[in-house]
Structure 1
Amino acid sequence: MNTPQLDVVVRGTGPALLLAHGAGGGIEGNFGLVLDDLARDHTLVGPHYPGAGGSPAATGPLDLDDLADQMVTEAVAAGQESFAVLGESLGSAVAVRIAARHPERVRGLVLTAGFPAADPVLALAARLIKSLADAGRWEEVARFTHLSCLSPADLAAASPADLDAAVARTRAGMPPGMLDHFDLVSRVDVRADLGDLSAPALVVAPTGDRLVLPESSYRLAAGIPGAKLIELPGAAHILNETDRATWLHHVRRFLDTLPPASE
């Protein structure tokens, strides 16, 4: 197993939500706009993948099964025997594999900007990020990921100075395990898991996503029995404050429909 002990954020009280972040991201980076709200009435368990947050880097390529099992281990260690899983981007594939391997623990799934396997745009992005990083061109990695994750409207509203400052923040926030995460992105394939999932699922498709095509979310929703699909019109891969508020509204409505947590 190449998954070390993970750095875990635990907040709040109530039914548990296990948070699965995206590649090159983290709990605050992906969920920061809604952590306070969700923690009012849920226990949030947010493990950082190897090489993110305070988690040490893996000693070899990440394995999806290992990562899924370690996420569950961390939730149980935090006192949560069952939970809903909120997955973003790569975290959606992690969430699907958690539900496939531990169906007795998963009360529901929320899959945002997700994919069952890397679509052509995402696969190309992962290759480009690796090639730029291998050449030591980390500023270009930051610029590419920043431009890929925001909407055209948000980018058009930014001045050149604002854009440069945002790229610098992106560069500063990139975790040491980013390349390991994107290597896993390029290898993930949970298509065979989808049809056997039994947990209720909400799939959220940002229609303006330029890193993970919205069609990838549509494939998730089509493959999971009974999954509910909602679209966030024009939303980018990283949700801005307005789109995240809409997301929160839909997610809360979905969470209210889930069966009670097991004791």
Structure 2
Amino acid sequence: MPQPLDLTVLDAVTLFAGDTELQLVPSLKTRAILAFLAITGRPHSREYLCELFFADTKDPRGSLRWSLSRLRAVLNLDMPRLITNRRNVHLDMSHIRLDLDVVRQTYMNQTPQTPDLLRAALLVSRRPLAHLSMPRQDRFDDWLTQEREMILSMQGHIIKALTAASDLSDEIALKWLRHWVRIAPRSHDAAFALWQRLTQCDQQQEADVVATTYRKMVGNKPGSWYAAAPPLKIPLRRNHEQTIRYCTTADRIRIAYASTGDGPPLVKAANWLNHLELDWDSPIWGDTFRTLSNNHTLIRYDERGNGLSDWNVRQLDFTAFVDDLEAVVDSLGIERFPLLGLSQGCAVSIAYAVRHPERVSALVLVGGYAAGWRHAMTPAQLEQREAVLTLTRHGWGTSNPAYRHIFSQTFMPDADADRLAWFDDFQRRSTSAENAVRFQEAFGDIDVRHLLGQVRVPTLVLHARADQRIPVSHGRELAEAIPNATFVELDSPNHIILGDEPAWQVFMDEITRFLRIHGDAAPSQ
């Protein structure tokens, strides 16, 4: 019987057999390869591993062979755990216990016990995977950034759940919340949770310091914290309200998707940007997603390049976006469903509906367009857009939110400072600078104008009258070109309709009424 091994990757990469530490070579790249294989849990081609880890060496394949031989000598003593052939490399995790899996399992548990939460919180109590950073390894760094953001998101949910446990004292809860703010100082959720608990415990002086510090950090005043009703001492919401799973596309990209609510399916196409964990509880989309989940099983997903899906991808274009949607609905086995598109998700929804008319019962298109920015701009406008791409490329991941603020203010000119600050941070955490540029370039190339006349399903088009991101004329063009489409103009300047503006209720009422008539899962006779 092979002996189970214990592998830690959240802190320094270490490997144990029982109480005995197995000696790994000191090579950072070799340890990073081990961590990468363990965290991803799937086979990878040698070519891909060479691109990730050895693009800066004269002999990438030789360097990879050396690292694999050193790992094989430690991992394969009593059974073949590291399995290699001429093309692929795979780490068999069936007899390896990974520390990150403890965190994942606790996070996914709908009713976690306090000791389990505490153990998971301790595992993620430091900056995750910090020891794996390597200079001049851009592709690996993109993957590492993605994994860190996923772990940080789980960290936040675990600490929130832990500090809401009824058997945890205020003293211990505050200790953990203070720690969360120290390791994630720009996190709105961390600062607000600490401020709220301090207020509950009548420690208003420290609560005011937390609010002031956060304001100075992000450059905005958290006024809505004080404007809100006094916080009640109730358990904070946990992520078990949604179920997150993964599927794999034809080109082996891992796509995260989530389902919430109960009832007939409603599938939402991805948009700029998505992160299943962050946007579910967000002050931006939370009201909309929860309302849609009241009468439907709402299915959302993070398309490739952002959120919880794979960031490090070769193909990031419109065809891939449609393929990602197809992979999600195929994995769920849904035969027929209404499809909701927001912004560029409208074009993706249209393309899918034309490709699979037998599977789509209705289309709801919000703030959409048929042709991307490259197809309609003047030379001067194109030059301005290219300048934004340059700013994004160089400033996206910095602590200065000015670059991301370009997007936030055009998406929601009516939003308060708290929402804009949240959206700034959300964008940074949802994708890398490289992918933010690639997304914008892909959106510019979108063109489904030739498909509009081929749509054969009932279609509702909604668009904000003063939308500063996508002019309302684009929505009218969709409605005019799609046979028998219904057009509703919303009285709002916001590209993202917010839950506390008057237009939001109209927005939700129109969607509810339309889906009640056309959103059935069975094809009409």
How would you bin the TM-score normalised by the shorter chain? 0.7 to 0.9
Between 1:114-123 and 1:93-102, the stretch displaced more is: 114-123
Q: Which residue of 2 aligns with 1:114?
A: 368
- Tell whether the 8 Å contact from 1:33 to 1:244 is kept in structure 2 after alignment: no
Between 1:247-256 and 1:163-172, the stretch displaced more is: 163-172
Between 1:122-131 and 1:2-11, the stretch displaced more is: 122-131
Identity of aligned residues (%): 25
Q: Which residue of 2 aligns with 1:195?
A: 453
Which of 333, 337, 340 is the matching residue for 1:86? 340
Kindly provide the CA deviation profile for residues 52-72 of structure 1, in whole angstroms up to 9, marking residues without a partner as x: 221012522423233213312
Q: Which residue of 1 aligns with 2:509?
A: 249
In structure 2, what is the Cα distance between the partners aligned to 1:167 and 1:13? 28
Q: Which residue of 2 aligns with 1:129?
A: 388
Unaligned ranges ≥5, structure 2: 1-249
Q: Which residue of 2 aligns with 1:169?
A: 425
Q: Which residue of 2 aligns with 1:149?
A: 411
Greater helix proportion: 2
Aligned amino acid, residue 185 of structure 1? F
Between 1:205-214 and 1:138-147, the stretch displaced more is: 138-147
Q: Which residue of 2 aligns with 1:57?
A: 311
Q: Does residue 1:24 correspond to 2:278, yes or no? A: no
- RMSD value, Cα: 2.7
Kindly provide the CA deviation profile for residues 101-131 of structure 1, in whole angstroms up to 9, marking residues without a partner as x: 1111001111111000124579677534321
Would you identify which runs of 4 or more consecutive aligned residues in structure 1 move more than 6 Å? Answer: 121-125
- Tell whether the 8 Å contact from 2:354 to 2:455 is kept in structure 1 after alignment: yes
When Rg is computed on C-alpha atoms for both structures, the one with the higher figure is 2
Distance 1:167 1:254, change over 3 A: closer
- Tell whether the 8 Å contact from 1:205 to 1:231 is kept in structure 2 after alignment: yes
Distance 1:24 1:17, change over 3 A: same
Which TM-score applies when normalising by structure 2?
Answer: 0.45
Distance 1:3 1:143, change over 3 A: farther
Q: Which residue of 1 aligns with 2:518?
A: 258
In structure 1, what is the Cα distance between the partners aligned to 2:506 and 2:395? 38
Q: Does residue 1:216 correspond to 2:474, yes or no? A: yes
Secondary structure of the equivalent of 1:195?
helix
Aligned amino acid, residue 491 of structure 2? P
In structure 1, what is the Cα distance between the partners aligned to 2:456 and 2:371? 20
Matches within 5 A, 1:41-80: 41-80=295-334
The Cα shift of 1:41 comes to 2.0
Distance 1:105 1:16, change over 3 A: same
- Tell whether the 8 Å contact from 1:18 to 1:83 is kept in structure 2 after alignment: yes
Q: Which residue of 2 aligns with 1:5?
A: 254
Which TM-score applies when normalising by structure 1?
Answer: 0.86
Unaligned ranges ≥5, structure 1: none
Kindly provide the CA deviation profile for residues 118-145 of structure 1, in whole angstroms up to 9, marking residues without a partner as x: 2457967753432112233553321100
Between 1:68-77 and 1:228-237, the stretch displaced more is: 68-77
In structure 2, what is the Cα distance between the partners aligned to 1:194 and 1:57? 31
Higher relative contact order (CA 8 A, sep 6+): 1
